[in-house]
Each structure stands twice: as C-alpha cells, then as structure tokens.
Structure 1
Amino acid sequence: MLRTADQAGAEPPANADCTLIVPADPLSAPGLATPYQLTATDAAAGPCHEANAEQSAFVEAAILTGDGQLTLYDPLVVDKGTRPAAPTAPAQVPDGSTVGLWFGFNGDNLTLKSADGMTSLQQGDCVNGAHKSIFGQFAYCNAMAFFGQANQRVQDGTLKVPPLGVAKDGKPCPTTRDFSVVDQDQSDNVVTHYIATGDGQIAQNNKAGRAALQNPDRRTRTMAPKFADLANGSDNLLLTAFIDPALGCAPWTLPNQSSDGEPSAALPLDELSAMAGQRAPIALLPLNNPMTLNGNRPDADKTNLFRTGVNQGTIGGGGDDGDGATYCRNMFGDPAGIQRVFDDQGIFVGAPSVDPNMATNLFTFLAMRANGSFTELRCGNLLGVRNPVKLTMDGNGTVSDATLTPLGQTPTSPGNSAPATTMTAGS
C-alpha cells in the first residue's frame, strides 16, 4: 500500500503500530456485529485512534451460505473503551455458512489480539503472520476455509463470477493480479468504509450511522453532515474506485449487510474475480514482497500464509516459484505491466488523482506508485538496471509528469529530455 499525503505528513508522527482486539466468536453473527477495539501496541509510543486516518484499521467479512449465496458485512472498529456512535447493523449468518474476515490498516503494523479472557483468534482461525513476524498492514481469519468453499461453488456453478469485461483500451479489465495494477505489496488491504467525526465518534457507513453523525443547521433548518469518510488506502480500493471507472470497467459487487444492503466491492470478490479471469502474466505474491519478509530475508512460509489469505496457490504450485526477479521483469518489462498505464496515458490523465497533493492526476499517481514499487521490491538489484520510471515534480513537490524507459534501453538522466523511444505523458 502506498500511503497518501494525508496519511503521511502529520507532526508529530502518529503511532504507526496498533493492536486490534478481536471479539469472541468473530465468525458468528453476534461476533460480526460486535465492534473491534483499537489500542496502541506500545502505549509509550503514543495512542491509537480509529478516527485518525493514519491509524485507522478496517475489517471486511464475506458470508457464503451452503447453497452459494454470498453477501458482505463490514464489522466496525472503535477505540478501546468507547462505544460506536450508532448501534451496529445486525449480521445474518445462516446455518451452514462459511465466513471469512480480512483486515487492513493505514499505519505500519497491525497486531491482532483476542478479547480479554477469550480465545478469539483461535475461534476465528486468524493469521497475523508467521514465525512471530507479522505481515504489517494485513491479516485474515478463516480465509482458507472460505476460499475453499467459494472455489468449489464456482466450480459447481452455484456461485457465478461475472466476466471481467473489456476496457476502453480494448484489453480485458484489470484485476488485483494484473501487473499494471499491482505494487510492491499487492492484495494487502480491504475496501471497507467507516464514517467518523473529528472528536472520535465512529459508525458504520449506513443510514443509521449517518443520521447519528449529523448536526442541526439552525440557519437552514436542515441536518448537516459533520462526519468524514474513513477508507483503507489499498490496491483494492485503487482498482475498484479509480482504475475501473477510468477504464470503463465495473468491479464485482454484492449486497453489504452493514450498509443497508447496498452493493459493495470487497477483497474476497476481487480475488475470486482475479482467480477466474486474469490472463498471463499473472501476478502472485513474490518472495520479495515487503510484507512477507522475515526481517530482511525472504520467508516462504510467511509468503505462502499470505497467499492462502488471498486465494493464491502456494509457491511451487502450478510452476510459480515466487521469484522476485521474474515479478519485477513482468511488472516493468512486459507490455501487460506498467507499460499499459503509459499506453493508456490519455485515459488516466483525465481521471482524478487518488491524492492531488502527491500527484496531479491518476496517470501521475500510478507512475509515482510504480516508481516506488521498483525501489521497495529491490528490482534494481535483482535485474541490474536503473529505475525505468522517472518522475517530474512541480514547485510544490507534486508529481506532474512521468516517463517510462522499457527494460533493456538506457534510461534518461534526471533533467534530460526523454529519448524518442520513451513513452511520456503530461499532467
């Protein structure tokens, strides 16, 4: 996940390591409707507050019934010792259902913890990492069982995955396993939204929550919102809310029980869609993914556990060996990788930036993200090349332009004009 400027520039910096207390029986209907509690992992490093966008944690659930009906639910997160601004929506988990949970975090390291006196993590079959090394911004509960059932329902035809469709560029709509979409830590966050006030009140994103977080405007005699949207800065949200609309694509959505039944995208839907429709080259978590390293070393066990949580096969399955150099080469050297973004520059330049303080439009944001991913994945060392994505900043430090030099060609030096073979786009 690439953190936005709103999540990166506070002074003093917020505590980036928080703990999420998981309620009892987290896979049950009462467990889904019980708020999770956020607290500091180390109180000496400062508090953790859900309403602080730098520290917000998010939970996303999918409920698959025995006959293949799939719905979503977003359990709420509040500060430890507080109550939600409005009662949480009741969850419906029919007998025989399989429930999966996924977690995202806007800080650095999110640690799951059982509620006091409970065995919540064991009850939920929760995975936070491996060998006492947590993933960081991601965790999950019961994902293996959920995807096992979901994949079976897809195979027997009781769960229908919509086709990807065709994008404006004439190519298949991208997925979370498309090398034009992934970054250094793909599939690491969720699409959940909450609403919050400046004084720390939190509610689910539904009618009851919005009503609870409104103020009467005496001048107009209307109810004025006083809340802000809390969202997880994720690859999944980038795809479904920014890239898909720009390309004329539509993500797979299903009814969200916690949002008045309104359709919502979700990580498990993204991964099932990618499993069903992504064409080669297919991006699967490599061993050099920063979230699956143990210290600074690749860890196959940790990588496989992360893969399991997002419905990817283990290393060695299907001919995929998790090789970091291959991942970098596909991302920066294959036409289906970041080159697609530069080929589609005319489309993305006209689309809004995820964060206008960091990049002027969606094209420059994606280019900036690719430039950072090259560094984070250590592609330069693995491939023996310089970063092929060069960025131009305006006077405010905002990315306003970018160039791509295909692998095997000589990159231009900063400040020089790009060669004729270099693809470029302005802001």
Structure 2
Amino acid sequence: MALTEAKSDPGACFLHVPKYPFSAKGLATPYILKKGNCDQTNPDQQVFVEATIFDPDTKTFAVYHPLVINEGTKPAIDPIVPKLPKNAVVGLWFGANSDSVTLTGDIQRCTNGLSSTDIFSQVAFCGAEHFFKVVHAADKSGKDVVIPPIGTDIHGNPCPTTRHFGIIDQDQSDNVITTYLQKGNRFAQATKANRQKLKKFVEFANGSDNALVAELIDPAIKCKPFKAPSLMEPNVMLGSMALNELHATRQRAPVALIPSSDPMVLSNNKPSIRKLNAYRKGVDQPLVPHLYLASPKDYCINFDKIAPGYIQSIAKQIVGRPSPATDVADNLLTFMGQRYAASWVNLACDKILKKTSAITVTTKKGVATEVHFHQSKKIGGKKHHGKKHHGKKYD
C-alpha cells in the first residue's frame, strides 16, 4: 500500500524521497530530512536509507547507500552515481534512530504502514515486495545458487539469522546497516575515498537488529553474513537488511516471524492483521490469514525456550566484544542479556506465560554490567546450570 502525502505531526520525522528513487540518478539524489521536528546531526533523530539491487540476468546482488541530508543544506561530498545493471530490480529500506519516520515525495511504491497516520514507526520500505518476488522466482529456477546457505558457527551449530529466537528482540527485522559520515552539519556516504577527503568526521549508524547480527555477532562466532559488492566503491562488500532477510529463509524451524504483538505492527495499540502483513511483505516473511497464526504466546514460548540457552552458549565468544550501545550495556554479552530481559517485558511474555525472565542483569548507573542466567539449559550435549557472567570477565 502506497502512502498518501503526510501532514505535519509534532514529534515525527519526515523524509522526502527524490523523484525516480529506483533509478541511478534517483539513488544518487540526496533524501531530505525536513526541517521542524528532526535534525540529522542529532544522534537520536538520524534517518538512514539502504538500497539492495538484484540483477536477474546474472542472479547477483549489490548494495548502495543513498544519502540523507538536512533540508536547506548540501552534501559534504556529492554521492556516487551507481552503475546499475540493465534490468536491475531495486528495493529500498529505511531505518531511523528517531521514534518514527514518515516518507513524503515520490512514494507511489512505498509502504510506511497502513496510512500516513498509522505508520510502523522507525522503518519503511519501497519496492520491497516486488524485489523479493523477483529474487525468489530466480532462486527457484535452480540454475544458480542465489541465496547462500547460512553455514555453521564456531560450535558447529547453524549460524543465527535475523529470525533466530536466540537473537531476536521485541521488534525483530527492523532498521538497516547503512552508515554515514558527518562533518559539521553536512553529510557524505561512508566510503574510503570520502573518509580520506574529509579527514575529520564522525561516522554514525542506525540502531539495527540487522547490524547486530551481521556486524557484531557473526564475526564473534565465526559465521559469514550474506554480503554483496558495494556500488559506491570497488572491492568492498556490504551487508543489508534485505540480504539478511533473504538469508533467513534458509533457516530451519523454529523460525521467529513477526508476531501480532510486535509494537511496530499494532494499530491504535491493538493487533492488526493488515498492518502485520504489510510489515511482513517488506521483510519477506509469509503472510497469515488470521492473527492466531502469529500468536504472541507461541512466540514467547520459543523465545523462553531458545534465547537464554543460546546467549549462554556463545557467552565466551561475545563477552569481550564491544557493546553496540554503551549507555545500555558495557559489552556485547551484557547487551544481549539486557535486550532479552527488556523484550520479555515489552512483548508481555511475563504476563502471557505468567513467569519472569530467565535472564536478569545487574546495572551500574543504568548500564548493564552482569548477566544472570536462571535456567538450566542443555547446550551442545552438556547441561549448563544458571550462571553469572560479568562485563569484564567470563566465569
């Protein structure tokens, strides 16, 4: 469902989509963050765009990061104009550090929710459903391996995807991997050439489940995320939200699919089959004819059964890794523990299953520094009992 033009809504971010957004020229035209409510220099209000391109002739992918700038400014360095394949199929995914982002401009093939006043919040998509449809048709042809297998981790277990109950949170499959460079109040694409040219800059990123898996967890446990060549510079491979979701189609059951209780798919704070399916289309998940087939209870049961044991099983590998949010947790392990405990409450799993979280954390000045596991879990053939894991040390 395409959006109609949005009207002003206090507290919302409005992002203007350029003309012909799926063309090379459109991809290289900066997206404009409208004045008034949001500012791209504010870390809590930044908005990101990510394009994934599929060539149906060669059955290959590429990734490009359209630039977002503030209204009334110019790029610090003009975006690279990508060279697109002749029959390129382009999909666009949006993520925000703000509470919400509403698309305006050339949005005929975009989905931001059910309407401009009933949006998903931090995410949006343009051309996503068509993109996934073309990719899966090519994959089923059997002539080439379009989507690679997910592989195995350091323990010989299947690598996690964005649909693995061990790493999902209250609203899975959201936000993008795109980063940008900032110098003053101007912005540029995050390429090696631009870093060298700007010399002094800040590189900033979207708070993203996709980046968490592909950029932080996968390297720690020796997994290989699905990446494709950058169309901004040679010899650089990039991950993307679309590639992660395609990779997740290779995962075996149980598979975490967006439940009806996900905050991003609620309409007026109530479950909505239309909004749930609209979101699922944007991230390549199967649609459901009835809400009970996206049961919050089933989701919570699998979350409880799988996540605590899985996080504990990779604790040694992630305890020494940096936290993606140092104001929340002091390393990747404590971040994952805090994230699980918060999601357990935010998804109302405590009320649905009538039990407390199997993971709790100790905090210092609001930052998680220890993780406590309260259930015995069978991991890799051995039974591991509840333990306490410190931020600086693994016991």
TM-score (norm 2): 0.90
- How many Å apart are 1:380 and its aligned residue? 1.3
1:361 aligned to 2:331? yes
Write the distance in 1 (CA, Å) between the matches of 2:50 and 2:178. Answer: 6
Cα-to-partner distance string for 1:93-145 (whole Å, 9 max, x where unaligned): 2332211000000010100001xxxxx111xx100001531001100001010
Contact 1:388 1:407 in 2 (8 A): no
- How many Å apart are 1:184 and its aligned residue? 0.5
Say which of 32, 45, 49 aligns to 1:55.
Answer: 45
Q: Report the residue type matching 1:374 in the other structure.
A: W
Alignment-derived partner of residue 393 in structure 1: 363
Contact 1:16 1:107 in 2 (8 A): no
Alignment-derived partner of residue 5 in structure 2: none
Write the distance in 2 (CA, Å) between the matches of 1:357 and 1:425. Answer: 19
Contact 2:98 2:122 in 1 (8 A): yes
SS in 2 for 1:288: coil
Say which of 244, 266, 274 aligns to 1:270.
Answer: 244
Alignment-derived partner of residue 168 in structure 1: 154
- How many Å apart are 1:246 and its aligned residue? 1.1
Which blocks of at least 5 consecutive residues in structure 2 are unaligned? Answer: 1-9, 378-383
Contact 1:304 1:314 in 2 (8 A): yes
Counterparts of 1:8-407 in structure 2, within 5 Å, are 17-40=12-35, 43=36, 47-67=37-57, 68-114=59-105, 120-122=106-108, 125-131=109-115, 132-156=117-141, 157-197=143-183, 199-214=184-199, 226-275=200-249, 277-316=250-289, 321-332=293-304, 334=305, 336-394=306-364, 396-406=365-375
Which blocks of at least 5 consecutive residues in structure 1 are unaligned? Answer: 1-14, 115-119, 215-225, 409-419
- Compared CA separation, residues 259 and 190, structure 1 to 2 (3 A): farther
Q: Report the residue type matching 1:348 in the other structure.
A: I
- How many Å apart are 1:389 and its aligned residue? 1.9
Contact 2:370 2:389 in 1 (8 A): yes
Write the distance in 1 (CA, Å) between the matches of 2:260 and 2:123. Answer: 16
- How many Å apart are 1:159 and its aligned residue? 4.8
Q: RMSD of aligned C-alpha atoms?
A: 2.1
Count of residues in Structure 1 that have an aligned counterpart in Structure 2: 373
- How many Å apart are 1:384 and its aligned residue? 1.5
TM-score (norm 1): 0.83
Contact 1:207 1:260 in 2 (8 A): no
Alignment-derived partner of residue 6 in structure 2: none
SS in 2 for 1:84: coil
Contact 2:163 2:255 in 1 (8 A): yes
- How many Å apart are 1:316 and its aligned residue? 4.3
Write the distance in 1 (CA, Å) between the matches of 2:42 and 2:16. Answer: 17
Q: Report the residue type matching 2:31 in the other structure.
A: Y
Contact 2:19 2:26 in 1 (8 A): yes
Contact 1:150 1:159 in 2 (8 A): no
Cα-to-partner distance string for 1:354-388 (whole Å, 9 max, x where unaligned): 23342222111100000111111111121112233
Higher mean displacement: 149-158 or 372-381 = 149-158
SS in 1 for 2:312: helix
- Compared CA separation, residues 151 and 338, structure 1 to 2 (3 A): farther
